[in-house]
């Protein structure tokens, strides 16, 4: 039975979390968002009530932070495995820039507009336009998440293959 040496444990964790995060975003896209955005602004208010105890904003940011940490560990523990390094670094960069930074700069302000301020501050038309922009940009976030997962898995597989080759040669 294969084992995961120290140098591939970090990439394995990063790959697993990146795939899990992609799955979470895919579920959010296909199940949650159609309900949240079907009748803006009323559906936004309903979603706010529904997610009063726990919602995607409570789960996905900590998962993202843990995935970033795992990406840093993956790069550090597999740095000497040249076949994996660029894949893991690329995965970490797409996670940081394409998911985290994009979310902070683009999605977080729109979440506040739609779910915190709502019709008390904004017109219905503005909320509808904001929701449409949010949904459209979310497809980009989903694609970037898929790329992150693919890069992380490729990095892990390259690290694992290199480690197996070293063990066989030894």
Res 100: pLDDT:
93
Residue 107 lies in a domain: yes
Separation of alpha carbons 150 and 33, rounded Å: 24
More confident residue, 97 or 5: 97
**For all residues of the chain together, what is the average pLDDT?**
93
pLDDT in tens, 53-100: 998 889 888 999 999 999 999 999 999 898 899 999 999 999 999 999
Nearest of 22, 26, 38, 3 to residue 148 by alpha carbon = 22
Mean pLDDT value of segment 149-169: 92
Mean pLDDT value of segment 150-166: 93
Residue 93 lies in a domain: yes
pLDDT in tens, 116-146: 999 999 999 999 999 999 999 999 999 999 9
List the domain range (segments joined by +) for residue 97: 6-169
Residue 143 · residue 2 · CB < 8 Å: no
Residue 1 lies in a domain: no
Residue 80 lies in a domain: yes
pTM of the model: 0.90
What is the number of domains present in the chain?
1
Res 4: pLDDT:
55
Residue 155 lies in a domain: yes
pLDDT of residue 47 exceeding 80, the answer is yes
Separation of alpha carbons 47 and 33, rounded Å: 9
Residue 11 lies in a domain: yes
Nearest of 30, 33, 25, 27 to residue 50 by alpha carbon = 33
């Amino acid at each position: 039975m294969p084992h995961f040496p120290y140098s591939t444990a970090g990439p394995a964790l990063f790959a697993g979390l990146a795939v899990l995060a992609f799955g979470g975003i895919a579920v959010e896209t296909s199940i949650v968002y159609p309900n949240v955005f079907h009748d803006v602004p009323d559906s936004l208010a309903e979603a706010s009530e529904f997610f009063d105890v726990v919602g995607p904003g409570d789960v996905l940011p900590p998962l993202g932070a843990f995935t970033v940490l795992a990406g840093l560990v993956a790069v550090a523990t597999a740095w000497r495995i040249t076949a994996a390094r660029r894949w893991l670094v690329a995965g970490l960069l797409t996670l940081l820039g394409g998911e985290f930074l994009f979310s902070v700069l683009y999605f977080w302000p729109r979440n506040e507009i739609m779910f915190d301020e709502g019709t008390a501050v904004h017109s219905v038309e503005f909320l509808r336009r904001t929701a449409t922009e949010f949904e459209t940009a979310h497809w980009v976030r989903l694609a970037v998440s898929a790329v992150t997962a693919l890069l992380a898995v490729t990095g892990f597989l390259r690290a694992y293959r290199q480690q197996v080759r070293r063990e066989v040669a030894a």
